[in-house]
Structure 1
């Protein structure tokens, strides 16, 4: 299982870089991803879009996609408002 640290600002600038990084991991056979949100204080719709697309790919490969250490209340609120807290496994 690969643990990936999400940046402080997971927005447009970082999102495309992370999309490529995560997709490269999947292409190389990694289908079990764990995303560490302990440093993340902001996520926008682009960041959410990356998570959704990577989640779908992991799901298609019968892999796992887990978010953990969402310590920032604003970030957690975004997941709840978009109801993605019901989609993703958050620990």
Structure 2
């Protein structure tokens, strides 16, 4: 079981998420189901970005896979806490 490591863009918002979602969906279609998302460059996430992450999470769980988030800065972590998604995702700071 190898994790696929992916870097989240600086602004994970409506302009950036489509390409990212397509990449992940292609990987899932090819049999991948374990992902580690690196937020070290990410300084902003909006509701579209959160929605994409929830969709990826659901697909991974359906396939008995995993989704881990790490290196979230305080501002991005605040969004996860406000939306209570910090209770859903495996977040490693």
Which TM bucket (shorter chain)?
Answer: over 0.9
Counterpart in the other structure of 1:80: 81
Off by >2 Å, runs of 4+ in structure 1: none
Counterpart in the other structure of 2:35: 33
Question: How far 1:74 sits from its partner (Å)?
Answer: 1.0
TM-score using structure 1 length: 0.97
**1:1-91 superposed matches below 5 A:** 1-70=3-72, 72-91=73-92
- Looking at structure 2, the residues matched to 61 and 9 of structure 1 have their Cα atoms a distance apart, in angstroms, of 28
Question: How far 1:73 sits from its partner (Å)?
Answer: 1.1
Map Cα deviations across residues 20-58 of structure 1 (whole Å, 9 max, x no partner): 111111001110000000000000000000000000000
- Looking at structure 1, the residues matched to 27 and 84 of structure 2 have their Cα atoms a distance apart, in angstroms, of 26
TM-score using structure 2 length: 0.95
- Looking at structure 2, the residues matched to 53 and 59 of structure 1 have their Cα atoms a distance apart, in angstroms, of 10
Question: How far 1:79 sits from its partner (Å)?
Answer: 0.3
CA RMSD between the two structures:
0.5
In structure 1, the gaps of 5 or more residues are none
In structure 2, the gaps of 5 or more residues are none
- Looking at structure 2, the residues matched to 20 and 49 of structure 1 have their Cα atoms a distance apart, in angstroms, of 14
